[in-house]
Structure 1
Amino acid sequence: MAAPVNIIVGSHVWVEDPVLAWVDGEVFRINGEEVHINRTDGKMVVANISKVFPKDTEAPPGGVDDMTKLSYLHEPGVLHNLAMRYELNEIYTYTGNILIAVNPFQRLPHLYDTHMMEQYKGAAFGELSPHVFAVADASYRAMINEGKSNSILVSGESGAGKTETTKMLMRYLAYLGGRSGVEGRTVEQQVLESNPVLETFGNAKTVRNNNSSRFGKFVEIQFDKSGRISGAAVRTYLLERSRVCQISDPERNYHCFYLLCAAPPEEREKYKLGSPSSFHYLNQSNCYALDGVNDAEEYLATRRAMDIVGISEEEQEAIFRVVAAILHLGNIEFAKGEEIDSSVIKDDKSRFHLNTTAELLRCDAKSLENALIKRVMVTPEEIITRTLDPVGALGSRDALAKTMYSRLFDWLVDKINNSIGQDPNSKTLIGVLDIYGFESFKLNSFEQFCINFTNEKLQQHFNQHVFKMEQEEYTKEEINWSYIEFVDNQDVLDLIEKKPGGIIALLDEACMFPKSTHETFAQKLYQTFKNNKRFIKPKLSRTSFTLSHYAGEVTYLADLFLDKNKDYVVAEHQDLLTASTCSFVAGLFPPSPEESSKSSKFSSIGSRFKLQLQSLMETLSSTEPHYIRCVKPNNVLKPAIFENLNIIQQLRCGGVLEAIRISCAGYPTRRTFYEFLLRFGVLAPEVLDGK
């Protein structure tokens, strides 16, 4: 966004500030490229003219509800506009057809009641104040009028409010397409109640968010010819399996573990549960409770939601038995055995947890012990049984916990889908995408790599769509325009996913060679991409690599990439659980087909995820997209705090400024003929007389 050149002495301008992002002031001298500014806070600064932006002195004090109404569409103007609106609790603002939603970090019930839904029903887009309901209504009307499927893409960083926004969208669509006065297990009720169930098992408290979705979700809501909801399907992406066994302070594990520890006393007794602090998988962090959340009440609410989505009493009982079994499993410890590199159950406490785990999973305790510490290798000559050392046994225990939990999560998603049912006759759907935002932590692993790959894909879709909309606008208005350049991130996508030489392909290759280590994998990356401008080798590391994403550079630690990419179930674990006398547990581990168990076929999480993403992008490309960009105003998760630098970073990462830049490259200021005549008619009264 190059600065306009019409800055003169006396101009009111915005100038950059390292702490506040942008500060306003008045120009008192211009010396070639240097602009001298008196800031409103009393400081005098000198800046290059290319870094100084004009301030709109005529902008209304409460901001404008659509950024395209701003006289100057640049970064400080956008930021100032959002700040003024946020101060008035106006959390929604349009940028053309894109809705920006700034998390208020407080309940604003009046914004979402039935009266509000009634107002937005059928109202033309832009006629009322910006709102999440307006986007849902526009997508519903477009679907009804044009007979075309639509999608709503909700994005933003962790804690920006994506999950809540998605729930509001689904509530509004259920209101439009539901059957009035029908209670209970209607399709729309089941769609809404699938949210709390999936949140209980797929969400957790992280540093940035008390209810962070640790999986991606695309809900397809199907409609019949008369616009009624007739079916739905939930597709989920990449549950963070590692969280089951490893959490850092002050995060929490998945909500369901804490809810079960807060269940009524008879339930806890049945599962032999104590407080969360007595379980290794929960006590690696000192955080057990969430402010304003009563886990005991949430447990009962989850059970009610499970009833509505069609999960039977017996199934619910079995689900929570598996959850309890995972907690007990995490408390089994190992000591060195008599032989070299062998291990045994550490003590009576561990033996108690082993027996309890076996009891809950309805399997034999001795078989469970063997599955944890022994491995059977079949060679053409003989069958060799080897024992794992204590570190290997802990790895085996954690692998079993992660596999059981991810299978349980997949079962829940399948159950919800089968229970709601899909309508084979439906011709149109509205898809709602709630997917993790761009992530960059102190330590970034395989999960962040996949999450940021997703965001690169969505960013490309967003850019192309916004760009296309812009060009269509010019064609419609019969304006002469030249081709607008925009940043294309295809080179990053090629680096990650191209076959045969992309990062995912090289990772799969490394996983298939028994001698590969994370170091050899990292060396292969350094060698392959040494001339790629999007790939950087950090100076002092042998196993890290940095990718230059559209939203900034992220350094990944390759140390666990190989382990996390392998999607295999240890044969001993499979055999143990297939033999469970509980049909639910055995059902999570159906016997694997003979041929695959012989050839130990390698299955890669990265490649499977790439295919899932491909299919998601195909679905999105066949729909008319609508965008909601959620913004997190501060890192302390409190109302009424607006951190400028933090927000600028999100607007850049979220492509909002890129979308604005695309508009700026063409005609940023848009006025109707009526407004134009009203303002400038005085200059040509003869034209006005002739109108």
Structure 2
Amino acid sequence: MIKLLYLHEPGVLQNLATRYKHNEIYTYAGNILIAINPFKRLPHLYNTTMMEHYKEATFGELSPHVFAVADVAYREMINKGTSSSILVSGESGSGKTETTKMLMNYLAYLGGRPKVEGWTVEQKILESNPVVEAFGNAKTVNNNNSSRFGKFVEIHFDQNWRISGATIQTYLLERSRVCHISKAERNYHIFYLLCAAPQEVKKKYELGSPKLFHYLNQSDCYELDGVNDADEYLATRKAMDIVGISEDEQEAIFRVVAAILHLGNIEFEKGKEEDSSAIKTKTRCHLDMTAKLLECDAKRLEDALIKNVLKACKEGTTRNLKTNAALNSRDALAKSIYFRLFNWIVDKINKSIGQDGNSKSMIGVLDLTGFESFDHNSFEQFCFNYSNEKLQGHFNQHVLKMNQEEYTKEGIEWSYVGDKQDVLNLIEHKHGIIALLNECSSSLTDTHETFCQKLYVKFKNNNFFSKPINPQNSFTLRHFAGKVTYEANLFLEKNKDYVVDNHQNLLAASSCRFVVGLFPSPAQEQNTLNASKFSSIGSSFMEDLNKLIEKLNSTTHQYIRCVKPNNCLKPTTFENCSIIRQLRSGGVLKAIEISCAEYPTKLMFYEFLDRFGVLAPEVLEGNHDDKAACQMILKKMGLKTNQLCRCMQSCRMYYAQV
């Protein structure tokens, strides 16, 4: 990008469009790699020959490529002994997940060990991708394989620069998707894979078509173009073998997944007593099957769904739940089970791969859920967009610091006022939105209406906050990527990080050791948690983000900005308006502005002479070194040496006159 004569929006857009037309999906903007999703396979770009091609190549010497970015991180680790982080960002559907895979493939190629008996560490790392994707990815309207959680993979290297361990840190799995999906979307892939399993497996779990299950049939989408769920099921089982999940553990995992599907089919009707509910007779088979798969008592499961235990001192009072409350209880149980299952799988993979405690160098690959703005945005979008805001601020500060150091070294007078942190302060300040949300979530009297009213009063004079006319009980934030309106109806409930007591007691008493492991008894949990303290998902996510930023600050950085070329997810289609919006909202144009602020064109002295030496041919005829020759040319034009970068446009005009 910085080689363009005119570095502005039309020039940037035309450059990307021309390259994309020729399947050149990667473009450098300084040290930042822009990657445009081709929506088709380009295997020639990622084979072993291409990996060998980029190995130890000087950055910028070859065509822009994701391998070049990974190679820089690896070479810096070897030459400087530093750890690196590669930050992959972009909207949903822009190709972040695939880009992350390519990075990890290349790092495994560079740091892989000789073939040994059994599975190597790097093979386990690579095979962790399909397992985690099966349980954490889903089809959305924007992306057929959207990560519904954030992920930071640390790859550890030994003193010989071979991969010696790894750890996966996940962030904010979208729990609500387990129970509620929108039109044209799918639930998590694993549900459909299990419904497409061999007949003997489906028979064992009493499964059939996804259309038969409430948690899957809320949408009219059951299949993905070009994807065979039956084949993916077998591939996932094989990957689970490689990452160290045993046959018994796999059996237990799929029992739990099947149990969630049957749980979602349990329906309720008005009970005999006032303000009570009962299981509909026609769905009792699903109650019994859920109990069988979870190996718990069916009557206790029924009571856990239609009754609630209110604690009063040491004694508990049981009250009946109305039909809607019973449905909410059912969904809460399903979300709790799935969330804990997902965390167990990630922990198991981490233990199987192993961490290298002696490693002094690592390369981290960050793939956080991209900025989201839908017709209806809830707590998940609020958290995802908060994380993008946080990383954008980190990015701006990092690029700004790099330029300050460069210009100071060159003796160039330069100043740039960085972006303020107003939106972040609005969200994460001790008196900000998350703090107010926690206050209302832990209150027995506050509702989403009172939460919104408090927001309106507290932030009415904040330029980054506004109250929309519609819908009611909503608020709008002005993010770096644009305005987003959040509907707060479920904010308080989604912010509470807890498992209902009778659900906990039910599953802790299961005959299945695996289920008990997911839900240890309350006595065990109190050893690590303060049961009386309110636990907030928003606060824990904020703490995790701050720790992540601290880790990123301790490493060098490489940036990859992924871009979605069109909203119809089709190859060869390049929608200008969509691209420009993403370049703006994703901070790409801002990045170019920051990295090239005031001095957009940067040339080495010999490059300057080659281009503008005709302005003073007598200088070139003398015996001057490049720097001295440049100074003489600039002096002739009335410019100082340290104005070299800024004067390029003047040079072009002067050149034209000559």
Q: TM-score, normalised by structure 2?
A: 0.93
Shift, 1:262, TM fit:
0.4
Which of residues 658, 667, 680 is equivalent to 2:590?
658
The answer on whether the counterparts of 1:193 and 1:308 sit within 8 Å (CA) in structure 2 is: yes
Q: Distance in 2 between matches of 1:480 and 1:179?
A: 47
Residue 169 in structure 1 maps to residue 103 in structure 2: yes
Which aligned pairs between 1:218-367 and structure 2 lie closer than 5 A?
218-347=152-281, 349-367=282-300
1 CA distance for matches of 2:45 and 2:315?
71
Cα displacement (A) at 1:72: 1.2
Query: What does residue 634 of structure 1 align with?
Result: 566
Name the counterpart of 2:580: 648
Work out the CA distance in 2 between the residues paired with 1:299 and 1:676. 58
Residue 79 of structure 1, aligned match among 3, 10, 13:
13
2:354 to 389, 414, 421: 421
Partner of 1:130: 64
Q: Which residue does 1:528 correspond to in 2?
A: 458
Q: CA deviation digits over 1:209-233, x for unaligned, max 9?
A: 0000000000000001110001100
Q: Which moved more, 1:274-283 or 1:371-380?
A: 371-380
Number of residues paired by the alignment?
621
Cα distance in 2 for partners of 1:133, 1:615 equals 28
Counting only pairs closer than 5 Å after superposition, residues 448-459 of structure 1 correspond to structure 2 as 448-459=381-392
Equivalent of 1:511, from 441, 457, 462? 441
Aligned partner of 1:494 in structure 2 is: 425
Residue identity opposite 1:623 in structure 2:
T
1:91 aligns with 2:42: no
Structure 2 CA distance for aligned equivalents of residues 294 and 248 of structure 1: 22
Decide whether aligned partners of structure 1 residues 481 and 343 sit closer, same or farther in structure 2, where only a CA change above 3 A counts. same
In 1, Cα distance between equivalents of 2:23 and 2:595: 27
Equivalents in 2 of 1:377, 1:124: separation in Å?
66
Tell whether the 8 Å contact from 1:497 to 1:503 is kept in structure 2 after alignment.
Answer: yes
Q: How far apart are residue 538 of structure 1 and its match? A: 1.2
Question: Partner amino acid for 1:549?
Answer: H
Matching of residue 435 in structure 1 with residue 368 in structure 2: yes
1:191 to 109, 114, 125: 125
- Would you say 1:611 and 2:513 are equivalent positions? no
Q: Does 2:494 align with 1:564?
A: yes
What are the Cα deviations for residues 463-520 of structure 1, in whole angstroms up to 9, with x where unaligned? 01111222223233x24222122323x1111110011x11000000001110110000
1:156 equivalent to 2:86? Answer: no
User: One-letter code of the match for 1:438?
Assistant: F
Please name the residue that 1:573 is paired with: 503
Instruction: Find the aligned partners of 2:404 and 2:58 in 1 and give their Cα distance.
Output: 23
Which SS does the other structure have where 2:145 is aligned?
Answer: strand
Q: Distance in 1 between matches of 2:530 and 2:117?
A: 51
Q: Show CA shifts across 1:633-690 (max 9, x none).
A: 0001111000001011111111111111124432111222222212222222221122
The residue identity in structure 1 corresponding to 2:457 is Q
Q: Does the C-alpha gap of structure 1 residues 269 and 536 become closer, same or farther in structure 2, counting only changes over 3 Å?
A: same
Counterpart in the other structure of 2:616: 684
Distance 1:231 1:664, change over 3 A: closer
SS at match of 1:69: coil
Instruction: Please say if residues 111 and 161 of structure 2, whose CA atoms lie closer than 8 Å, have aligned partners that are also in contact.
Output: yes
Instruction: Report deviation, 1:184.
Output: 4.2
Question: For residues 99-125 of structure 1, what are the alpha-carbon distances to aligned partners after superposition, in whole Å with 9 as ceiling and x for unaligned?
Answer: 000000000000000000001000110
- Find out whether 1:393 has 2:323 as its counterpart: no
Amino acid at match of 2:547: S
One-letter amino acid of the structure 1 residue matched with residue 616 of structure 2:
A
Amino acid at match of 1:267: V
Rounded to whole Å, the distance in 2 between the matches of 1:618 and 1:462 is 13
2:360 partner amino acid: K
2:628 corresponds in structure 1 to none
Give the SS at the match of 2:515: helix
Question: How far does residue 539 in structure 1 lie from its aligned partner after superposition?
Answer: 2.9
Work out whether residues 224 and 427 of structure 1, in 8 Å CA contact, stay in contact via their aligned partners in 2.
yes
Aligned mates of 1:264, 1:187 — CA distance in 2: 30
Q: Within 2, Cα distance between the matches of 1:663 and 1:205?
A: 36
Q: What's the CA shift for 1:169?
A: 0.1
Contact 1:481 1:666 in 2 (8 A): no
Whether the 8 Å contact between 1:577 and 1:589 is mirrored in structure 2 is yes
- Check 1:308–1:552 CA distance in 2 against 1; reply closer, same or farther (3 A cut): same
Structure 2: gaps of 5 or more residues: 625-658
What letter matches 1:365 in structure 2?
A
Q: In the alignment, residue 334 of structure 2 is paired with which amino acid?
A: A
The structure-2 alpha-carbon separation of the partners of 1:595 and 1:119, relative to structure 1 and needing over 3 Å to count, comes to closer
Deviations along 1:149-175, one digit per CA (max 9) or x if unpaired, are 100000000000000000000000000
Q: Match for 1:618: what amino acid?
A: E
The answer to whether the Cα contact below 8 Å between 1:72 and 1:669 also exists between their aligned partners in 2 is no
1:539 equivalent in alignment to 2:469: yes
Query: What secondary structure does 1:581 align onto?
Result: coil
Letter in structure 1 aligned against 2:350: N
Partner of 1:370: 303
Task: In structure 2, give the amino acid aligned to 1:421.
Answer: G
- 2:577 and 2:530 mapped to 1: Cα distance? 56
Q: 1:407 and 2:333 equivalent?
A: no
SS at match of 2:317: strand
CA distance, structure 2, for counterparts of residue 526 and residue 378 of structure 1: 34
Aligned mates of 1:190, 1:443 — CA distance in 2: 38
| 1:340 Cα offset (Å) | 1.0
> Does the 8 A contact of 2:30 with 2:595 survive in 1?
no
Partner residue in 2 for 1:33: none
Q: Which protein has the bigger helix share?
A: 2
Could you report, residue by residue, the CA deviation over 1:553-581 in whole angstroms, capped at 9, with x for unpaired residues?
11111110000000110100001100111
Q: How much does 1:248 deviate?
A: 1.1
Q: What SS is found at the alignment partner of 1:209?
A: coil
The C-alpha deviation readout for 1:435-482, integer Å capped at 9, x for no partner, is 111111111110010001101110011101111222223233x24222
Aligned partners of 2:480 and 2:167: how far apart in 1? 31
Question: Residues 382-408 of structure 1, C-alpha deviation per residue, up to 9 Å, x if partnerless?
Answer: 643211111111000000000000000
For the structure 1 residues 548 and 381, does the alpha-carbon distance in structure 2 shift closer, same or farther, using more than 3 Å as the test? closer
Measure the CA separation in 2 of the matches of 1:183 and 1:293. Answer: 32
Question: Post-superposition shift, 1:598?
Answer: 9.6
- Kindly indicate whether the alpha-carbon contact (under 8 Å) linking 1:155 and 1:437 is maintained by their aligned counterparts in 2: yes
In structure 1, runs of 5+ residues without a counterpart are 1-66
What does residue 10 of structure 1 align with?
none
Contact 1:215 1:236 (C-alpha < 8 Å) held by counterparts: yes
In 1, the alpha carbon distance for the partners of 2:561 and 2:246 equals 38
SS of the equivalent of 1:210 reads coil
Are the aligned partners of 2:471 and 2:487 in contact in 1 as well (CA < 8 Å)? no
Once the 2 structures are TM-superposed, how far is the Cα of residue 592 of structure 1 from its aligned partner?
A: 2.0
Contact conserved, 1:523 with 1:542, CA < 8 A, in 2?
A: no
TM-score for both structures, normalised by structure 1? 0.88
Pick from 214, 217, 224: which aligns with 2:151? Answer: 217
Q: Which residue of 2 aligns with 1:43?
A: none
Provide the rounded CA distance (Å) in 1 between the counterparts of 2:315 and 2:93.
Answer: 55
* Alignment partners' CA distance in 1, 2:255 and 2:176: 20
| 2:407–2:414 contact (8 Å) kept in structure 1 | no
